[in-house]
Structures are given as C-alpha cells and as structure tokens.
Amino acid sequence: MAKTKLKVSAIKDGTVIDHIHTENLFKVINILGLDKIKNQVTFGMNLESKKIGGKAIIKISNKFFEQEEINKIAMLAPNANLNVIRDYEVVEKKIVEIPDQIVGIAKCFNPKCISNFEHMDSMFTVVSKNPLEVKCHYCEKINTKEQLIIK
Ligand code: CTP
C-alpha cells in the first residue's frame, strides 16, 4: 500500500505491531508499558483488515523489543506480528510465541488462590500451548485459556 494511504503514518525507525484485535489494544499497551514510555507512540483501532475483523495497530518510534518482551502479548494477540523498521524499511518480521512462564499478566481462576489475596505477581507454568493450559505456581490448579483472566 502506498505510504500516503496509510491510516497511521509510517515511522522512520522503530516497531510496528500489527493485527491486534481492537478489544485487546489497551491491554497490549498496558502489558508492554507503552503508557509509561517517552517514545512517540501512534495507534489506530477498528481498522479494516483481511485477516481479522476490526484490527488495531501500534507504532512505536525508536523502540526495539526483545523476544521475551514481545512474548508477553502472546495470550492477548497470538496473531500479532511485529515489524522492525529501520530507515522507513521493514527489515525484520517477528512473531509472538507463548512463553514457558507467564508472570503478572493473568489472574488465577481459583478464588481461594493466595495470589488473588496477597500483593504478589501471579505466576504460571505453561503445560500446553495449543490449546493453552497453564499451571498456577501457587495453588497448582490448571487454568485453561477460557478460565484465565487477563489483568
Ligand atoms: N510500516 C510503517 N512504517 C514504515 C514501514 C512500514 O508503519 N516505514 C508499517 C506498514 O504500514 C504495515 C507494517 O509496517 O502496517 C508492515 O509493513 P509491510 O510489511 O510493508 O506491510 P504488509 O506487506 O502489508 O505486511 P503484512 O502483510 O505482514 O501486514
């Protein structure tokens, strides 16, 4: 697509996160800490997409993520791809992968779990990636993707 027709302007250097479902946009912003950084961040939501209905896109100037940081959004945006931009060109495309451990993002479904009472980061070990099943580090209950609550 010609750059002049982009809904959200092209960036010179940085990262473009594409194919996020609009309803997850602000959670992704939160998880990546984009609400606290000084870099220029632009985003669009409810954009037309052939792959997903109503997608969102985030463009972060002069920010390049480590794979570990990217993986934090895997539960929310499993189909997201990250485009690394240098001097206006896409030089790399990265995909998100479910990490082996999920820390502080999700809430254990077990109402009696200590992680829901104390001020502590929740912690899960991933026992299956597809379908997603994780084991709570504290109460050892298995949470399915449907049971997990993303904070
Ligand atoms: N992009 C950008 N600034 C640039 C170059 C690209 O914001 N200087 C954005 C594009 O708008 C697009 C994404 O980065 O949203 C990926 O660019 P590109 O690979 O050229 O687009 P597509 O071929 O449409 O990629 P895909 O099919 O993977 O979405």
Instruction: Quick: pLDDT tens for 47-74.
Output: 988 877 789 999 999 999 998 889 889 8
Q: What does DSSP say about strands 14-21 and 55-61: parallel, antiparallel, or unpaired?
A: antiparallel
59 and 14 in contact (C-beta within 8 Å)? yes
For residues 15 and 100, what is the distance between their CA atoms, to the nearest angstrom? 24
CATH of span 14-95:
3.30.70.140
CA of 132 to the centre of ligand 1 (A): 29
CA of 84 to the centre of ligand 1 (A): 9
DSSP 42-59: EEEEEE--SSSSSEEEEE
Low-confidence ranges of the chain (pLDDT < 50): none
Cβ–Cβ under 8 Å, residues 136 and 148:
no
Structure pTM? Answer: 0.86
Contact 75, 101 (CB under 8 A): no
49 lines ligand 1 (CB under 6 A): no
Instruction: Give the start-to-end residue ranges of the domains of the chain.
Output: 14-95, 101-150
- 16 CB near ligand 1 (under 6 Å): yes
CATH 3.40.50.11740 holds for 101-150: no
Q: Contact at 8 Å (CB) between 56 and 47?
A: yes
Q: pLDDT at position 4, please?
A: 59
Planar angle of CA 4, 9, 14, nearest 5 degrees: 130
Asked if residue 88 has its Cβ within 6 Å of ligand 1, the reply is yes
C-beta 37 within 6 A of ligand 1: no
According to the model, what pLDDT value does residue 34 have? 96
CB of residue 85 inside a 6 A radius of ligand 1: yes
